[in-house]
Chains A and B, each alone.
Chain A
Amino acid sequence: MSGVVTPPGGYFGQALVVDVTDGSTTTVPLPDDVLRSYLGGAGLGVWLMNELGPAGVDPLAPEAPLAFTFSPLVGTPLTTSAKFAVVAKSPLTGLLTDALASSHFAIAGKFTGHDAIVLTGRAAAPTTLLVDEEGVELVDATEEWGLSASDAEESIRERHGRRWRAASIGPAGENLVRYATISHDGRHAGRGGLGAVMGSKHIKALAVKGGKRVSIADQEAVLAAAKDLRGRSFGPATEKYRELGTLSNLLAFNAINTLPTRNFQASTFADAPMLSAEDLAESRSVTKNSCASCTIGCEHIYASKGGKKVRVEYENVFALGPMCEVSDPDQVLDASAKCDALGLDTISAGGTIAWAMECVDRGLLDAPWLRFGDGEALLRVLDEIGSRTGVGALLAEGSRRAAQQVGQGSGDFAPHVKGMEMPGYEPRTMQSMALGLAVNARGADHNRSGAYEADLREGLDRVRGTDEHVRAAIETEDRAAIMDSLILCKFLRGVFTEPFAEWADLLSKVTGWDVDETELRETARRIVQAKRAFNLREGWTPADDWLPERFLDSPLELASGRTATLPAERLRAMIDTYYVERGLDADGRPLVHTIAERESKV
């Protein structure tokens, strides 16, 4: 026997760590048990952060690692599997953040021969990091610095060759806006300020090129599974995404009192029809697009009045439209395009701006031009945030830090959890989701906790959270942990009837492991625990698992005549149940034995 260990199918068994200060590299072996315990994507990312991230590090310091992680399914013909995660300590929350993006970068990155590429250090000048099968190279990015991410990507491919695929930051990342994104081909690893982490390293882009094929344990079985999954991906479970995209949520959410409006002061928006997918699809041209290896094709790209092509999602429109009470679709589309160009997370941008508008309304902030409903002001303030000028210097910090500076009770209506701005789901009328938002490791987040699913099905009273809501939220959190680590697109989730069993089967076919549903459920819990353990190490306190006061002291009147309230004691009871069900102590800390169990796996 030689000393060479063959990695399981779907993996290369190693992570590449690049110190961008000088281009030096190290290879971190990823043994079978680590991969089996954390899979890839978000799961592998949190393992790497626990291993490589110095405790208590400033997220914008050179020592802070920034991990691009791939997954065992990347490179297989399984639909929606061309995805990657970007993981780091968030400059917005000070805790873990992991954001997903997709398409060719995932395939090219993995085929460099690595399951993850981790950046540390800080380059002396604007730099692009090139990684391929042969090694790494730091190249000058002065030409790209200041460009939008998409222009930078194009420039890099022009300069270095079309086979390179790049994940880039925009000006917001360069200016260390705490909710700057990293994007590839127009799709953003959006949440938590990963773009600022990359900008702090003076890295404009990570470009990858690879042709190193990964082995698959049972190629024939994977091909058959891919064919089956492809067929199912054309069914009713994905019709909404295929036909109208996620923006189709807008009018539906408006009808059910869960469309956050005017910084969560209301849950319906009278002008919602003007911004709806139904209206936009009728009134302007639309192009549909899909990620590499995807058969759903959820992307809907609309033309704005100025001729711009704007990729539109529900979260963009909710955050820049109803949250700021802007109803002109062209202004909302332009604002969304501006966020794309600057490299700004639209949810955090919209939430922070809506908070600032309310501050202006209340006389707490001296920016009289920044008013609810003013689309021109919205566009202006986005520019100021991206360049950290004017009031933008304050708002680039996110709503939590800005509220700490403004004071005067403005923190009570800052729409964030753990510092991350809230997505477009009203927690008072979606109380499974309320819990999911409160306890999630990443902060207010709809992708790591999809508890809205429980609120939108028959059986639970969505305005009266109970222990049942908690269990439903945990189930969706566990599902997300696996989907984000395999990685499969969440828009595919409706096609699985026995998700854990089916995912275990797919994983087994790719890797050659004999994984079953029970093991995969345990893996999900391990990943969720590992995120919580990382946060604990970085200073998380029980008070971080909570919602802003606005949601606890302001009832919402529903059209039905009922009132939606979320009393603090109910939220407390749900969180307490969550801690018990998750095997945490009474303050939400992982118990010693659960940490030991987690560590024993590696």
Chain B
Amino acid sequence: MSVSAGIVLAGGRSSRMGTAKAALEWHGSTLLRHVTGVVGRAVEGPVLVVRAAGQELPELEPGVVMCDDREEGLGPMQGLAVGLAAAAEHSETAFVCSTDLPFLHAAFVRAVLRGFEPDAETPDAERPDVVLPFVHGYRQPMAAGYRTDLAPRILKLIEADRLRPAHLFEECAVRQLDDAHLLSDARLAVADPDLDSVVNVNLPDEYREARARIAPEVVVERFGVLATSGGGRGRQTIQAANLASAAEQMGLKLDGHVVAALNGDQIRGDGRVPLMRGDTVSFISADAGG
């Protein structure tokens, strides 16, 4: 399977929130940067952000691709079509979500994208166009997987004034993943047992409540001189929403000489990289010579 892209739809009006959701503060960063960071940690293809033409967005990670949605007032289907069309040159599939999912977990994104892979139980089943989580009794079209070649079909639906995702689902192969199916993924079951990944914030109270939750629990470890020069060895469990917070709690500074590996995988040095429940953060010296 080719790599999947990530698409974050940032173009909504945020009218119920009363302020742009994308720019809401999130543990020293912004909600949009946090969500794009989470998606970026889960997909191997590019991360695209779809915004309304002229919409100002907070600073994002280098490498995030901006796409302008020039048609106003057509709802998420229009943004979805723009994002999928842009992603099609890189990837066959994409995880698509809205900006307002503060507890989105990379394990959820991966579990959804795995829905595109042939199922061992039904290997001959039709290849899905959409992998649609059905969580807490609701469809979750703004936290779902889509084939990127759906863009032309979505545009035709828009032309026909069929503007709801449900209209798309009527016309393509949808693989629905319910709570039990999603939680059969062992990593997701540990990382997000309540499937909070789909909890969105639309109202100021919802945002405040979400923001008041404690930061996710992560395991940190230090190696080499970072451990021996006063830092201490061994693993520790702490609460940290991003890499900077984890580093600070460990008495470290991400100054170019210190980097972190997340779950033994990617090397990161940007303090704003979001951390998620269950992460293991390994702080190492940036210089590996020898």
Chain B CB within 10 Å, residue with most, of A253, A425, A490, A560: A560
Interface size class on chain B is 35 or more
Interface size class on chain A is 35 or more
Complex alpha-carbon distance, A241 and B225, angstroms: 9
B221 at the A interface (CB under 8 A): yes
In the complex, what residue of chain A is closest to B268 when comparing beta carbons?
Answer: A458
Stretch among A337-345, A435-443, A448-456 lining the B interface:
A448-456
A249 at the B interface (CB under 8 A): yes
A462 pairs with B224, CB closer than 8 A: no
B264 pairs with A493, CB closer than 8 A: no
Residues 245 to 280 of chain A near chain B (Cβ within 8 Å): 245-249, 251-253, 255-257, 277-278
A115 at the B interface (CB under 8 A): no
B266 at the A interface (CB under 8 A): yes
B224 pairs with A240, CB closer than 8 A: yes
Other-chain contact of A252, B62, B223, B229, B265 (Cβ < 8 Å): B223
Contacts A257-B265, A457-B269; A248 near B289 (Cβ below 8 A): no
Residues 206 to 258 of chain B near chain A (Cβ within 8 Å): 221, 223-225, 227-229, 233, 255, 257
A132 at the B interface (CB under 8 A): no
A558 pairs with B264, CB closer than 8 A: yes
Complex alpha-carbon distance, A236 and B110, angstroms: 38
A255 pairs with B290, CB closer than 8 A: no
B44 at the A interface (CB under 8 A): yes
Complex alpha-carbon distance, A491 and B264, angstroms: 25
B270 at the A interface (CB under 8 A): yes
B223 pairs with A251, CB closer than 8 A: yes
Contacts A255-B282, A494-B257; A246 near B290 (Cβ below 8 A): yes
Residues on A with C-beta less than 8 A from B282 are 252, 255-256
Chain B CB within 10 Å, residue with most, of A425, A452, A455, A457: A457
User: B272-289 CB contact bits vs A (8 Å, 1 = yes)?
Assistant: 000000001010111111
Contacts A240-B225, A281-B228; A453 near B287 (Cβ below 8 A): yes
The DSSP consensus for interface residues of chain B is: loop
User: A214-257 CB contact bits vs B (8 Å, 1 = yes)?
Assistant: 00000000000000000000001101110111111101110111
B151 at the A interface (CB under 8 A): no
A490 pairs with B289, CB closer than 8 A: yes
A464 at the B interface (CB under 8 A): yes
A244 pairs with B290, CB closer than 8 A: no
Complex alpha-carbon distance, A537 and B261, angstroms: 43
B14 at the A interface (CB under 8 A): no
How distant is B266 from chain A, measured CB to nearest CB, in Å? 7
In the complex, what residue of chain A is closest to B225 when comparing beta carbons?
Answer: A243
How distant is B244 from chain A, measured CB to nearest CB, in Å? 13
Residues on A with C-beta less than 8 A from B290 are 241, 245-247, 249, 313-315, 491
Residues on A with C-beta less than 8 A from B233 are 278
Complex alpha-carbon distance, A425 and B290, angstroms: 10
A256 pairs with B44, CB closer than 8 A: no
Residues on B with C-beta less than 8 A from A313 are 290
Complex alpha-carbon distance, A425 and B228, angstroms: 23
Residues on B with C-beta less than 8 A from A246 are 289-290
Contacts A240-B225, A252-B223, A278-B227; A458 near B264 (Cβ below 8 A): no
How distant is A480 from chain B, measured CB to nearest CB, in Å? 11
A1 at the B interface (CB under 8 A): no
A559 at the B interface (CB under 8 A): yes
Contacts A456-B267, A558-B265; A255 near B225 (Cβ below 8 A): no
Residues on A with C-beta less than 8 A from B62 are 459
In the complex, what residue of chain A is closest to B257 when comparing beta carbons?
Answer: A236
How distant is A288 from chain B, measured CB to nearest CB, in Å? 13
How distant is B18 from chain A, measured CB to nearest CB, in Å? 36
Complex alpha-carbon distance, A247 and B290, angstroms: 8
B263 pairs with A560, CB closer than 8 A: yes
Residues on A with C-beta less than 8 A from B255 are 236
Residues on A with C-beta less than 8 A from B257 are 236-237, 239, 494
B266 pairs with A248, CB closer than 8 A: no
User: A122-146 CB contact bits vs B (8 Å, 1 = yes)?
Assistant: 0000000000000000000000000
A559 pairs with B280, CB closer than 8 A: yes
Q: What are 7 pairs between A and B in contact, CB < 8 Å? A: A237-B287, A239-B285, A245-B290, A252-B223, A462-B267, A494-B257, A561-B263
- List residues of chain A with CB under 8 Å of any chain B CB: 236-237, 239-241, 243-249, 251-253, 255-257, 277-278, 281, 313-315, 425, 450, 452-453, 455-459, 461-464, 490-491, 493-494, 558-562
List of 6 A-B pairs having minimum Cβ-Cβ separation, nearest first: A246-B290, A248-B224, A560-B265, A560-B263, A559-B264, A252-B284
